[in-house]
Structure 1
Amino acid sequence: MGILNITPDSFSDGGKYTQIDAALAQVESMIEDGASIIDIGGESTRPGAVDVSVKDEIARVIPLLKAIKQRFTIKVSIDTSKASVMAESIEHQADIINDVRALQNEGCLAVMSQTNLPICLMHMQGLPRTMQAAPQYDDLINDIHTFFKERIAHCNAHGITTDRIILDPGFGFGKTLEQNYELLAQLSTFKNFNLPILAGLSRKSMIGNLLNRDVDERLAGSITTAVIAAQQGANIIRVHDVKETVDALKVLETVNKFKR
């Protein structure tokens, strides 16, 4: 899954793809590099991020979604937590909805109950503006498991069948440095749900803080975490650096063919 942030304030590539021509060029490049899904985000969810209005998010996301669908055959995921943005995106041929709030915001369950599209439910403790202040868990892995069980039950109660659900444990969203690496080490435990797992670790502060690397110096760390996530059973790897990650995963896939 190739990341396409069309926001001025995203932590890694904020402002680079706010113009539609630049965004489409990036989409074409990611497709050529091996992406099978493009994930469009119209609101930054980095720690401390400022909220974006529904009107502004729709104005950012929908024209680009329409342009991609006119030019390419790639699947498009829309990264949003707003019911109105979900509804508009579905109307304009989005293939997946990716919600960091796991359909907890008003109206989101109702919107998704009216479609058969896949929905990615992400775990986040708190909200983007404050989530990294002091995250605390009784038991990190069990707490996230409990959260997913509850959200899946809510989805089922609103007619969203389990086979449409993707799970994202939410690396960097209300977790300390140590908790993020515990989560990565234990990622395979979420295979118990028998649902696809999405892992998004690309260029995140868990890499920068561990290695003392700025955002543009985190490629090696990002690739390493992507490979570990795949080894732990992740089905979708959400990344900025598509070409390099695809190369690494091809090597892993080839090695796995010869395991006994």
Structure 2
Amino acid sequence: MRRIGRREFDFRRQVAIMAIVNRTPNSFHDQGRTFELERAVEAARRAVDAGADWVDIGGFAFSAAQAEIDVAAEIDRVVPVISEVRRVTDAVISVDTHRAAVAAAALAAGADVINDTNGLREPGLAEVAARTGATVVVTHSLGGPGRRVMRPHYADIVPDVSAYLRERVRAALAAGIAADRIIIDPGHDLNKNTYHSLELMRRLEEITAIGYPTLVALSNKDFIGETLDRPQGERTEGTIAANVMAILRGARIVRVHDVPATVAAVRMTEAMLGWRAPVAPKHNLA
């Protein structure tokens, strides 16, 4: 069992569903629909009511196509949402940030996890996690949030990502973060093209073999849209297929926009794998 915040997960036979709540005006999927505080809090509540185990709250998009915001502005975006969501649920709350000061403020407001798409490279961030006992998500990216990477190149995407994650995990451990507080994420589409992300899907077991719970953030990503020639808003089926394949290859946390559809797909996958019983069977085997 692994305790994250107020909840426990048995990742040998359980998948955690992380709902995305972006308090940004320019998120690639939401396009600012949850930028207003009330809308962000309501989106989080709806997600938990629909079965999400976890809410991921962000105030700074990964895309390079955005205006820079300072630390104080990012704190103003995420802390009020975290405080309100913490008040009404015991679900895991993560803050999607790469900045130490934002992470510290978010944890003080009630967050349990630092979800860092910069791989703990920002000075002081690992130390904040170690000092507070927070769980961290260590994600692969080349440039990190807000930084443009033109034509990303890899000698071999999977070993390259794996080596990076192993090195950043070593850095996390050296900073004093406990091993049972580390989660890894290969960062599909983060400074990667569609072929890179598809190869990561095919060989995801090489990532999960690193030995830490693996999170995948696949929801409505461009590699799904480009594979199926589908615009934003028409990628639900592709997202579900990708998440199910990732679970079969060892992923144990899925980060998603469409919580109800994901809950159904994930719980059905768990049942087919023999990890959970049917909720309402008509006949017993006894």
How does the TM-score come out when normalised to structure 2?
Answer: 0.86
Unaligned runs of 5+ in 2: 1-17, 276-286
Separation in 1, partners of 2:64, 2:228: 19
1:149 to 166, 190, 199: 166
What aligned pairs does 1:74-89 form with structure 2 within 5 A after superposition?
A: 74-89=91-106
2:129 to 90, 112, 115: 112
2:221 to 195, 204, 226: 204
Matched, 1:51 2:68: yes
Structure 1 residue 193: Cα displacement:
2.0
- What residue number does 2:3 align with? none
Deviations 1:138-170 (A, max 9, x none): 121111111112111111221112221100000
Unaligned runs of 5+ in 1: none
**% identical equivalent positions:** 34
Deviations 1:196-239 (A, max 9, x none): 00000001111111111111111111111111111111110000
2:154 to 123, 137, 143: 137
What aligned pairs does 1:1-260 form with structure 2 within 5 A after superposition?
A: 1-129=18-146, 131=148, 133-257=150-274
CA contact (8 A) 1:58 1:85 kept: yes
- One-letter code of the match for 1:26? A
Q: Counterpart of 1:234 in 2: which secondary structure?
A: coil
CA contact (8 A) 2:139 2:185 kept: yes
Higher helix share: 1
- One-letter code of the match for 1:39? D
CA contact (8 A) 2:63 2:147 kept: no
Deviations 1:3-38 (A, max 9, x none): 000100001102111222212221121112110000
- One-letter code of the match for 1:32? D
Distance 1:98 1:129, change over 3 A: closer
- One-letter code of the match for 2:140? H
Q: Counterpart of 1:179 in 2: which secondary structure?
A: helix
Distance 1:73 1:161, change over 3 A: closer
Deviations 1:79-100 (A, max 9, x none): 0000000111111121111000
Structure 1 residue 132: Cα displacement:
5.1
How does the TM-score come out when normalised to structure 1?
Answer: 0.95
How many aligned positions are there? 258
